[in-house]
Every structure is written in structure tokens, then in C-alpha cells.
Structure 1
Amino acid sequence: MALDFEQAFTERTPRIVNAAKLHRSSARKKANAFLVEGENSVDAAVSTGAATDIFVTERAAEKFAEIVTAAGYMDVYVHPITDRAANSLSDTQTTSGLFAVCKPVLWSAGKILNGKPKFLAVPVETSEPGNAGTLIRTSDAMGADGVIFAGETVDPLGSKVARASAGSLFHIPTARDTNVKDVLGKLRAANLQILATAPQGDATLDEVDLTKPTAWLFGNEAHGLSPELLDAADIRVKIPLRGRAESLNLATAASICLYESAKAQNR
């Protein structure tokens, strides 16, 4: 589609200013919208109908012509912008020049559980955006039925989380519930076995029956799961480490557990 880059939006244009504010959680809540950047995220936002506006530089319009054209067919407003405007919208050192303002895509935990999931990822008090996005992406790749962020976690609609999810935020049902006890109650009511990853487990990963509907609890990056949450789980599960490494980081541990669940569910 033809765009007039001679009249491109600058960083001072109200639409650009308002879009840039969406990097703040309070602004996202007020506007009921969020901002994503990059090929994977914008493509997923457009194809799933979540995008309302696209902002694109002249160079990006050439590079991502298929996405821009698809956005036009989907009645998404496409706005040409200057390179300086792109820098004001981006939170990366090198911008892709392609952005989308999107409608919120978060589900409620109850809605996810009403779908009778076979296995879920439940990150608890996740604070690192990159890990949160990777968990969403891995859960999507493994065929999990949803991700429920429990406790005071990073906002799944933050731009860094969305970028790390590589578009999966728009594909897999994702929820956020700050009340961890309430989440646990909903998991039990949905007849899910609750498994918690722990260095000192009741059983190793290969000893657990993963053919049952399962919710995996994954702890905070720095301090893991609290003793109370470990006690609340049905089984504390240890991942056998056969090399010399003392531990695994959050994203790696989650990937291994979700892979084993996917294998058991599809056996």
C-alpha cells in the first residue's frame, strides 16, 4: 500500500507521544492498549486482529511490506513515521521501525481453566521481562493450554515481555492474577495436579505421572518458590542434574518441564 512519507508522523505528533507512553503500565491501563515492536510481534498482532494502529518507517515499510499490506486489508490504521519518531517509540538500541498499538489480549485465569486444560505454566512472582516472554513462547511451542502469571509479576503486556515472546503472546491464552492463593484454589477446582519445581523434590521429573492434567508452578528468578507454595503443591519435582552444574535458570527449568508434559500428553 502507498504511504506518504513526506507527511510522516514525527516524534512530537500527539499519536506518537501517546503511543510512546504505552511503555508505562499506568498508561497502558488508562488507554486500555499496549505497544509492541518488531516483525514477529506486529505480524501476530495483525493476523490475530489485536492491532488497531501500525507505525512504520519508510525503510521498514519496504522490509516488512507483507505485514503492512496485510494490516491495510485488516482495516488497521497504518501511519508512516520518521526515523526519529521510531526511536522515540522504541525501547531497544536498534529499532526495527515497525510498531503496533494493540487491544489488550490477556485472559482471566477462570476463562483459561474453563477450557479444561491438559497442562499449564504458572510462573509465580516473575520479575524479569525476558524470562516472562520466554515462558510464554516456550509454553506456546510446547502446546500448553495457557500461562497464568500469579502474584506480583511483571506485566505480560509490557513491550519487553511481548518482544521476548516473539508473537506467542497473541497465540496462547495468557492471564495475570495477583492473588496466588486464589490461583491455587482455581487450579484445584479445575482438577489439575499442582507440581512445583524444587531443588529438593519429592520425586524426580521422570517419576511423575504427567499424563494427568497438570499445572506447573515456576518460582521467582532470585528466590524460587516460597516454602508455603512448595507445601501447597501436590508434588515437589526435582529435575535430575547429571553434569556438574548446580542449578538451572527459570527459563531452562520451565522448558524441560513443559517439554516432558507435552511428550506425556501426546504419547
Structure 2
Amino acid sequence: MTFTSRTPRVVAARKLQRRRDREQSGRFLAEGPQAVREALAAGVVLELFATADAMSRHSNLDVHFTEVDDEALASLAETVQPQGLVAVCEQVDVPLAEALAKKPRLVAVVAEIRDPGNAGTVLRTADAAGAGTVIFAGDAVDPYNGKCVRASAGSLFHVDVVRTPIDVVTPLREAGLQVLATSGYGADDLDTLADDDVLARPTAWLFGSEAHGLPGELLEAADRQVRVPIYGGAESLNLAAAAAVCLYASARAQR
């Protein structure tokens, strides 16, 4: 049986494109082969919608497919050229205390970041740099926003994702992490901290939005305010680039 865009299960899944419905159900959509493979490996796929062509191309996936027509798949997907697979998944975030109990040596905190593409890219970068935890603090974008899930390229399923209020510094410090806040006007220079072996310690990095930076209470509460040196004529780095530089500087120092 091939489902259409009007089939009740497809209609119900499509509602997960809205944040309210994701939060009420504890479910979200993962689109495309990469995200689906990682979701399957994590054991969180509840249903996998696929077109007949995608079922043929991905027959190696050890999972039951729910066949849908092209129109139904397009209604579930949020990309212009969907790749034929959309999974309904259980949300994977964990409480802050549970994540910190694992004693991560590198943590990324995205504080009140609203852009889902930036947030997903930071999540992917943190995973690549070996961070064990990514924290969405305060009024941040939903990590299960479709664009954020796609930008994470499967990394959403590799790290501990936490959603928490903005007052995150104290529990981070109590978990043995130094807390470094990124700021274009920071008193400390990233290169100097690297040279002085400061970055070899277990570290939580705080990243704010490109438009407004970090909230003042986080800047004041952090152990240090750190700027990324600019050697050329650029005014600044965007959020994702700055996060990559800082996280990899810590990753290198810790290794």
C-alpha cells in the first residue's frame, strides 16, 4: 500500500514541522539518507517514509519502510529536492545533570542562538572536535528544527544534546569545567591561552548569536572572556567559524 499526502499517518507526521507539535509529541523529522542512517544507528526511528525509488536505492537499510508517493514525500520534506527518505524520530536530548555526570572534557554552549543553520553547524563542528555535549541555553532555536537537523549532518545523534535555562555557568563549573565566553572585545586572546596551556583543561565554550553576542549575565559569570584574533582586514568571524576555531584549539590542546 502506498500512502498519499492525505493518509492520516502522513498528515500526523507533517505536523512535526511545527515546534509546538514537536514539543508536545517528543518527536521530530529527520530527512535524507545521512540523517536517517545516523538515526537508525541511534535506535530512535519510529517510522521511515520512503518513495519506491528510495526504497530501491537504500534497500541495504535494515528497516521497514512505509511507502509514500512523491507528493506525500514532498509534503514531509523541507528541502527543494528531497532525497526520498523522511524518518519520524524520538527526541534525543538529555538532562544537563545526566550529560555532565559523564565528565565531558569539551562542551559547546549555544546561548539564545536563533538561526537554525548556525546552530546545526556548531553542533556538527562540536562533534567533529570531540565535544561530548552541546547545550542549547535560554531562548535558543529548537535543535529539532528541520534546518538545524540537516545542518548537523547526523551529529545530532552523536553527542549529548541538552536544553536548559540560561543560568548554565554554575553547573558547568561544578562539573570541573572552566567556562570560556567568546567575545570580540574579550580581555583574553585565544592564541595566548593556547600558548599558556589554559586550553588543555576541561572546557565549556559559550557562543552567542551573531546579532547580539552573549547575554551579559553569561559574559560576567564566565571565567574568561576570549576573543579570536583577526590578522587580516575582516571585521569579525561568523558564529560557526568562530566556534570551529575555538573548539579545535581546545581539542588540539587536550590531545
| TM-score band w.r.t. shorter chain | over 0.9
Shift of residue 88, structure 1, vs aligned partner:
0.8
Q: Which residue number in structure 2 is paired with residue 120 of structure 1?
A: 107
Work out the CA distance in 2 between the residues paired with 1:43 and 1:202: 44
Q: Work out whether residues 34 and 101 of structure 1, in 8 Å CA contact, stay in contact via their aligned partners in 2.
A: yes
1:173-184 mapped onto 2 (5 Å cutoff): 173-177=160-164, 179-181=165-167, 183-184=168-169
Work out the CA distance in 2 between the residues paired with 1:148 and 1:30: 21
Q: Work out whether residues 124 and 151 of structure 1, in 8 Å CA contact, stay in contact via their aligned partners in 2.
A: yes
Secondary structure of the corresponding residue to residue 220 of structure 1: coil
Work out the CA distance in 1 between the residues paired with 2:173 and 2:128: 25
Question: Which residue type is aligned with residue 44 of structure 2?
Answer: A
Q: Which residue number in structure 2 is paired with residue 255 of structure 1?
A: 244
Shift of residue 63, structure 1, vs aligned partner:
2.3
Question: Which residue type is aligned with residue 189 of structure 1?
Answer: E
Work out the CA distance in 2 between the residues paired with 1:112 and 1:143: 15
User: Structure 1: which 5+ residue stretches go unaligned?
Assistant: 1-6, 73-77
Secondary structure of the corresponding residue to residue 196 of structure 1: strand
Shift of residue 65, structure 1, vs aligned partner:
2.3
1:150-165 mapped onto 2 (5 Å cutoff): 150-165=137-152
Work out the CA distance in 2 between the residues paired with 1:89 and 1:62: 19
Q: Work out whether residues 127 and 153 of structure 1, in 8 Å CA contact, stay in contact via their aligned partners in 2.
A: yes
1:99-110 mapped onto 2 (5 Å cutoff): 99-110=86-97
Shift of residue 164, structure 1, vs aligned partner:
0.7
Work out the CA distance in 2 between the residues paired with 1:81 and 1:28: 22
Q: Which residue number in structure 2 is paired with residue 85 of structure 1?
A: 72
Shift of residue 260, structure 1, vs aligned partner:
0.5
Q: Work out whether residues 169 and 218 of structure 2, in 8 Å CA contact, stay in contact via their aligned partners in 1.
A: no
Of 195, 201, 210 in structure 2, the residue corresponding to residue 221 of structure 1 is 210
Q: Work out whether residues 135 and 254 of structure 1, in 8 Å CA contact, stay in contact via their aligned partners in 2.
A: yes
Shift of residue 91, structure 1, vs aligned partner:
1.2
Q: Work out whether residues 127 and 221 of structure 1, in 8 Å CA contact, stay in contact via their aligned partners in 2.
A: no
Q: Is 2:55 the counterpart of 1:61?
A: yes
Deviations 1:129-171 (A, max 9, x none): 1011111111111101110111101111122111110111011
Work out the CA distance in 2 between the residues paired with 1:260 and 1:37: 32
Of 137, 150, 171 in structure 2, the residue corresponding to residue 186 of structure 1 is 171
User: Structure 2: which 5+ residue stretches go unaligned?
Assistant: none
Q: Work out whether residues 113 and 209 of structure 2, in 8 Å CA contact, stay in contact via their aligned partners in 1.
A: yes
Q: Is 2:235 the counterpart of 1:246?
A: yes
Q: Work out whether residues 120 and 214 of structure 1, in 8 Å CA contact, stay in contact via their aligned partners in 2.
A: yes
TM-score (norm 1): 0.91
Q: Is 2:5 the counterpart of 1:11?
A: yes
Question: Which residue type is aligned with residue 229 of structure 1?
Answer: L
The share of aligned pairs that are identical, in percent, is 48
TM-score (norm 2): 0.96
Work out the CA distance in 2 between the residues paired with 1:25 and 1:227: 27
Shift of residue 25, structure 1, vs aligned partner:
1.3
Q: Work out whether residues 128 and 221 of structure 1, in 8 Å CA contact, stay in contact via their aligned partners in 2.
A: no
Q: Is 2:125 the counterpart of 1:133?
A: no
Deviations 1:227-256 (A, max 9, x none): 332121111111111111010000000000
Q: Which residue number in structure 2 is paired with residue 206 of structure 1?
A: 191
Q: Which residue number in structure 2 is paired with residue 23 of structure 1?
A: 17
Secondary structure of the corresponding residue to residue 251 of structure 2: helix
Work out the CA distance in 1 between the residues paired with 2:56 and 2:210: 40
Q: Which residue number in structure 2 is paired with residue 71 of structure 1?
A: 63
Question: Which residue type is aligned with residue 191 of structure 1?
Answer: G
Question: Which residue type is aligned with residue 118 of structure 1?
Answer: R
Work out the CA distance in 2 between the residues paired with 1:110 and 1:237: 26
Q: Which residue number in structure 2 is paired with residue 4 of structure 1?
A: none
